Chains A and B, each alone.
Chain A
């Protein structure tokens, strides 16, 4: 076993399982502490994922375990204070999305991280999913040509009775964020769009609360973004089925699409058969690939591999980069642009 970093986790909610399972199995990390306001939850997480100690006071955990890296997995409205305290305790921070409710808050945290010479990473996990990496490769090697259009579409049943976000008894803290429940996924949507259209010069965003009521601030987003002649669309809805997280990238030579929830990769590009045979070859190749994806998705479902595959890849690269003093897989520029884009989408002057 090579050199490893001491890791600690604050927050043991749903997403913690993905972080903790990585930390439990990685050679790059040693899980020294888990903290939650609930002693029972902290104890359960510590026992299940073999953490050194369970805490209910994160300051005590920072003081006693002196972690190199802290994963902050609590509700977004708590991030500002927790990230600040962890950086002041000389720990690198990996923080769940959205890192802060506003761009200004993010800049404050980034400034502190710079002053402390520490790394601050916002979780951009889907960027590291296999299908997204494949599409990035096709853009880089020119297979798709110049990117002309990008569409990121998310459909989630957040309004469904019994769901976490529809619970009126104990409203989820995400409702208080500037974009309401859309803020739960807007970071993912923004960074994916920016991978393929790095600049945006015009935005028109329609934020709606189609379902009404006072619990949800918004339940729908339809935004058009332009950069010169490049067009992009961000679409979030609670009203279509099945749930999906699709990405379309259309270039001057061809296009690629995937759904991160049921991964497949469909590419319509010039083939070796030339202009006449390419449509036919695309049909057969994509049909074959789709069948392969169906088998793979069934296998992944049985084997409990989830759309969070990119998170383990991101964390692995992050720990390796810290150990080897290499650039982070999610850079300041990535986070800065992402949070700035979210701010732009929410700005009153860009609303329709």
Chain B
């Protein structure tokens, strides 16, 4: 089976390509034309074909899909303004889906996000699973959530229209060597780190664990047409996660804990003032918009039961091991590739 992986040089994508090779797949890895591939340990691997494409334009995508059985779609943009994100997330997906129709590729594994859920309406401490409500008022959320919601809708509609299999993987906050301090465990204020709601669980997944789950979904019959949340086992609290990070950071920021209730109160007050006195026209930072704040930091509980049963997946690395790997000098991609079969086969040789 041959996979086409988009966003292959991205934070998650490069691990997904390595994991796909480790699981015995042949991979067409899509990177942008100007990408420097020299740091991608799999770039010259015999199981990997590097394909240089910019998905923001349709040209060449259908050709790249020849002999491809399944697409793992991870290309997205997390920076820039709304229009940059729209182009990098929505237009890329639209072009990809159009090309998949042309090339008659009928299987898509797409990486979505926990950001599509509605965190504002449901009460705190509920368990977030795949049946959790989706955001219905995206205008109050950031551009990332808005574009990912549009993207999910497009992919579902494409699956229905083309009688194709779409598997939506929704990872929690992915951490790894390139992204350790993240928006789900606090806010960066220069040399200070505001640890908001220290006792709440943080829905993290280590990048190698997440990559394994994504690739496992390709060969899982039970995953067809499903939405699957991916978080690791034994989720830490924000305090525990931060403490583990501080231990491994050379010059850590000063951590200042702030109770969730206090931050939520400040945010609600700012929102009230904006709505009542400024007709809602003021642009506030995300922490002062309750819907955005809740999406990042409201206390919930999480489950990975569906991922474990559907994908026969068990997160390989614990928090401590994952962080040790992240701060080590080891080339993690090479380590993953070392466990790959000598030659890719037409069928997966490993399923977890």
Contact = CB atoms under 8 A, between A and B. Distances in A.
A247 B84 CA distance: 30
B139 to A, nearest CB: 9
Given A170-B54, A304-B281, A41 B79 contact: no
Which one of A14, A38, A40 has the greatest number of beta carbons of chain B within 10 Å? A40
A303 interface: yes
A13 interface: yes
B277 to A, nearest CB: 11
Contact of A14 (B34, B83, B91, B278): B83
Contact of A44 (B35, B57, B150, B284): B150
Contact of B283 (A38, A164, A304): A304
Interface in B58-90: 79-81, 83-84, 86, 90
B32 interface: yes
Contact of B34 (A39, A162, A168): A168
A170 B57 contact: yes
B282 interface: yes
Contacts of B284: 302
B94 A39 contact: yes
Main secondary structure, interface of B, reads: loop
A40 B54 contact: no
A13 B83 contact: yes
Interface residues of A, number: 17
A168 B281 CA distance: 36
Given A303-B281, A303-B282, A162 B79 contact: yes
A169 B33 contact: yes
Interface string B27-63: 0000011110000000000000000001011000000
A229 B150 CA distance: 58
A169 B32 contact: yes
A162 B32 CA distance: 13
Contact of A41 (B35, B54, B86, B282): B86
Nearest to B147: A44
A273 to B, nearest CB: 40
A13 B282 CA distance: 23
A17 B81 CA distance: 12
A17 B86 CA distance: 13
B185 to A, nearest CB: 25
B134 to A, nearest CB: 17
Chain B contact-residue range equals 20 to 34
Contacts of A304: 281-283
A169 B83 contact: no
A169 B34 contact: yes
B154 interface: yes
Interface string A26-56: 0000000000001111001000000000000
A164 B83 CA distance: 11
A35 B332 CA distance: 46
A303 B278 CA distance: 8
A17 B83 CA distance: 10
Interface string A125-169: 000000000000000000000000000000000000010100011
A39 B81 CA distance: 20
Contacts of A169: 32-35, 54, 56
Contacts of A39: 94
Which one of A13, A41, A162, A301 has the greatest number of beta carbons of chain B within 10 Å? A41
B207 to A, nearest CB: 22
B90 A41 contact: yes
Contacts of A303: 278, 281-283
A169 B84 CA distance: 14
A162 B282 contact: no
B150 A40 contact: yes
A40 B80 contact: no
A27 to B, nearest CB: 19
Contact of B282 (A17, A40, A168, A302): A302
Nearest to B282: A302
A303 B84 CA distance: 22
A321 to B, nearest CB: 29
22 contacts: A38-B90, A38-B91, A39-B94, A40-B90, A40-B93, A40-B94, A40-B154, A41-B91, A162-B79, A168-B33, A168-B34, A169-B32, A169-B33, A169-B35, A170-B33, A302-B278, A302-B282, A302-B283, A303-B278, A303-B281, A304-B281, A304-B283
Give 6 closest A-B pairs by Cβ, nearest first.
A168-B34, A169-B32, A170-B54, A169-B54, A14-B83, A302-B282
Interface of A: 13-14, 17, 38-41, 44, 162, 164, 168-170, 301-304
Given A40-B150, A170-B33, A170-B54, 6 more contacts: A38-B94, A39-B94, A162-B79, A169-B35, A170-B57, A301-B283
